[in-house]
Each structure stands twice: as structure tokens, then as C-alpha cells.
Chains A and B, each alone.
Chain A
Amino acid sequence: MTGWRTLLYKEVLRFWNVAFQTIAAPVLTAVLYLLIFGHVLEDKVEVFPGVGYTSFLIPGLVMMSVLQNAFANSSSSLIQSRINGNLVFLLVSPLSHRAWYAAYVGASVVRGLAVGCGVFLVTVWFAPPHFAEPWWILVFALLGAGMLGSMGLIAGLWAERFDQMAAFQNFVIMPMTFLSGVFYSVHSLPGVWQTVSHLNPFFYMIDGFRRGFFGVSDVSPWLSLAVVGASFLAVAALTLRLLASGYKLRQ
């Protein structure tokens, strides 16, 4: 166990030690969304022909959980370590900025996928799953979790207090996840909001992910892959640059 793998292990152990809060709680939240929205809207909304609303909603909720928890893992770990001061143990180590990135984002992906799998397993009781094009499920889950893990690192570096972190979460992450088509197809939105949604990279993550389940999507999965892949690379490059420069880490 050396270098970045130690940090990855430590970051995984950190959330695993409090799994009730970091895995069970978000699974319950997602199931509550499904119970309430699924029950209310099941007979009233049909987004894709032949797909019930509950079935439609499940992949969106799974992906939303993956994204939110990937973000929560790196952001909360980093800001807690900075505020507690125990980040010094890492700062005095010889680990490179690439090692930091790989470990923090890696642990975010693990947490995101763990919660995503948890949500999926529970929702199987509500509607039988389809796996029309399963490779898209894996590709978009990994890219989405990686991107949100990176954004969590950026937020963890930028925020100096917990309220700034909450602001980042409430004013950036939450709107982007909710306006991404988790609960609806963007085709059902008025024109201007459709345009806005198409500017949101989270829309492509959800749309591509859902494609893997139903084999239908609002846009081509290849377009989604291009947008999500490019967004991920841009965010990863920015995060690596911030880490390398010691932004807010080394005065």
C-alpha cells in the first residue's frame, strides 16, 4: 500500500467508517423521491412510449445519487481536513498533485457507485429493470462520478468555511442536477428551458445514462459522450492545475 493508493484507501475508509450516513442515508432519500413522485405521477406521465413513469424515474434517481455523492465525498473530506488542520499530514507528504487527484476522485467514484448501486438495488422492487445498452450505463456513471468528484475537489479548495461549501452545493450543484432531466424529459419543458437544459452538461450525463436502460434518449448517446467527456477533461485539467499551484493549500 503505497503513495496514492494509501490516500485512496484512506478516503474510502473515511466514508466506509460512517457508511450509515454516507451510503444508507442517500439511498433512503432517493427511495423517498421514488415513492412520492412515482406514486403521484405513475398514471399521469408517459415520457417514452411504453415506459412507465416509475421505470423512467429510476435511472435518473440512480444517476442523481451517483453525482451528488461523488461531489459530497471529495468536497466534504477536503474541507473537513482543511478546517480540522489534519490536511497537514498530507501536505508534508511527498505525494504529487496527480496522486492527490487520483485518490480523491477515485474515492468519490467508489462512493458514487456504491450509493448508485444501493439505490438501484432497492428500486428493483418498484419496477423490473431493463438493460437495453448496458455499456452506456457504465460509461456515464464513471464519467459523471469522476466529473463531480473533481468538482468536489474544486469546491473543497475554494471554500474556506462550511457555509461557502453549502452555497456551492445549493447554488451550483443542486440546480444543475435538478435541471438535468432527472424527473422529466426536457422535451416536456417550454422552449427556452429546453435550450437552457441543453447547455447543462448534467443533462447529457442523465440522458446518456438512461439510454443504457431503455435504448431511447432525448439526444444521441454519442453527442452525450462527447459533451460529458469534454466537460470531464476540462474540469479535470482545472482541478489538476489548482492542485499543482497549491491554490489555497500552500500560501
Chain B
Amino acid sequence: MSPVVLSLEDLHFSFGGLKVLDGVRMQVRRGEIRGLIGPNGAGKTTLLNIICGIHRPQQGDVRLNGVSIVGRKPSAIARLGLGRTFQSSQLFQGMTVLENMMVGLHRRTRTGLISAGLDRRRRRSEETEMEAAARAALAFVGLADLAERPATALSFGQQRVIEIARTLISEPALVLLDEPAVGLSANRLTELDILLRRIRQEKGVTLILIEHVIRLVMGVCDQVTVLSSGRAIADGPPAAVRSDRGVIEAYLGKDLGARYQAS
């Protein structure tokens, strides 16, 4: 069995008196595409923010490649190999697509204040390397011809894909995708499906997909975790999760759930 990349151990989190996570456990192995689904308010976004270091859990531990990351800054966690994308586009609007990609390489490069300002040759050579890597990463997602465009001149779907590419370029161990399918047309959804499979196959990156579009989750994920009322109520292959009684009840309520299962 491949090693565990991310391990959530008994996470508890509440905003004031509101309990959001109530003892979540989850393990994601290398090379997996893990789906994370659940009804609205189940705690998915909070869980994601805890993994990224934006919130700190009151209890429990988050381990990335065996290293506890609770209490570290988001930027430090990113440097340990965690990438993420956002529900709404978070491209840097004042930059071109290529420059956005080069920011993605930040954790892979070293130029500091002094060498950036004084050492022209070193900066130039690093810039050239970064640019080549950025163009290659754009080619991987099939958007190489957008390199010189300002980020503001992209369509919604393109921004999504560029953002994924910008995260992938630094070769993270694990990428959290926060509802990448929101607002995509059927065609774009199919393209996203293919892209996610290619990322796993060709880049060997582990993915966690937080998503409401069940078609996408059931299609690409190896394992699905269902979150409801702050607990992981089911964990397993898509088919098993789909027919799980607890899951159906979480989505439809007890009455409707029972009727759905009977039908």
C-alpha cells in the first residue's frame, strides 16, 4: 500500500459555541484522488481551511507526509508541499498568465532581496528557467497560447484551469481542489474530469476534491469521504458510498432517505 500523505486525527473545531467539526478522521494515500462531499454546512470548507493553516483546530492533529502541521502558517504549510485552489478565481489580476505561473514557482526558487536587486546574471538565469517551466506547465493544461494575456482577459473556465496549473507547477505532494466544477458547462466539466485524471497519472500528485457536482466526484475519485454535521460518516469507493444508508439520510433526511432506498 502506498504511504499516507495526509492524515487527519480526531479534529475538533468550533466557532464560539457552534461546533463545526466533531472528531473528523481521514487518511489519504499517495496517488489517490479523494472526493470530499457532504451537504451544505457539513464543515467541508472549515476542514479545508484547517488543513491549509487558516484555522487552527481546538483538538486533534493534521499530518502532511508524517509531519504535524497544526499551528504553522499557511505559507509554511504550502512550502511543505500543500497546494490548493479556490472556489472563486484567485489569479493575481495585475499580472499576465505567465507571471501568475511564475509566482506558482515561488517555493521552488531562491532569489532573495539582495540577489534580486544586485545580481543581474543570477536573476536573469533564474528568470529564464522559471519562464520555461511556466510555459511547459501551461502547455500541460493546453493553454500555452494564453501566456502573455493579462489574467483579467480570461474566461471563467480558463481562469479555473490556470489556477490549477499554477498550483501544480511547484510539484506539491497534495492539492486541495475547492469546488473546481462550480459554474462549468457540461463540456468544460468533461475536460476537467480528463485533466484531473491526467494530473494523477502524469504528475503523480495526490488530489482531494471538494465538490458538489456528484457526477464528477463519482467519475474520477477512487475514494470518497462524506462529511455531515462535522463528522466523517462514510468513507470508501464511490459505489459503496453512494448506496450507504447514512449518506442518503444525510442528504435527504430520514423520511425521504428511507423512501429513496425503498424505491
Q: Do chains A and B interact in one complex?
A: no
Binding site for A on B (CB under 8 A): none
